């Protein structure tokens, strides 16, 4: 499982990357895309990129000082798609009202069926 810093760096790498080709990026470019720039420096970016490489989220072709040549692997793309899907699925009050209406309609329908059944049997 990835922590928040790793997720934000992975999202930044995804913004820089295009398709499945290799992309050369410096740590300064990556830091520029991050929201909380004060938490990141070149060393933390290097550690996170190494971690993502070991976890098979990215393929690192080479890295020199603060420059990285990488490609996102399918595991990273799937993870990012799931992350964006989670944020979009929120329950709304209208869905709750639909659920409540269906429950009440089912209850009323059942009661009418029982009244008709017992009226016929008497």
The confidence band for 65, taking pLDDT boundaries of 50, 70 and 90, is: confident
Is the pTM here over 0.85, yes or no? no
- CA nearest to 68, candidates 3, 15, 18, 13: 13
Residue 57, domain CATH: 1.10.10.10
Is 35 in the same domain as 77?
yes
Residue numbers of the domain that contains 104 = 91-121
CA distances from 72 to 27, 32, 42, 97, 122 (A): 16, 19, 20, 42, 73
Residue 87: its pLDDT value, please? Answer: 56
7-28 burial by CB neighbour count: b if 16+ within 10 A, else e? bbbbbbbbebbeeeeebebbbe
For 77-96, how does the pLDDT look when each residue is reduced to its tens digit (9 = 90+)?
A: 889 888 877 655 555 667 88
Is 57 in the same domain as 109?
no
Is 12 in the same domain as 41?
yes
């Amino acid at each position: 499982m990835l922590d928040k810093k790793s997720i934000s760096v992975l999202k930044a790498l995804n913004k820089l990357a295009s398709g499945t080709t290799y992309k050369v990026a410096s740590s300064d470019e990556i830091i520029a895309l991050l929201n909380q720039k004060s938490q990141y420096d070149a060393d933390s970016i290097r550690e996170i990129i190494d971690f993502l490489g070991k976890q098979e989220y990215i393929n690192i072709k080479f890295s020199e000082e603060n420059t990285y040549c990488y490609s996102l692997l399918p595991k990273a793309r799937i993870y990012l798609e799931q992350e964006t899907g989670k944020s979009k699925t929120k329950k709304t009050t209208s869905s709750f009202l639909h659920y409540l209406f269906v429950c009440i309609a089912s209850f009323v329908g059942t009661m009418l069926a029982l009244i008709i059944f017992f009226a016929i049997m008497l």
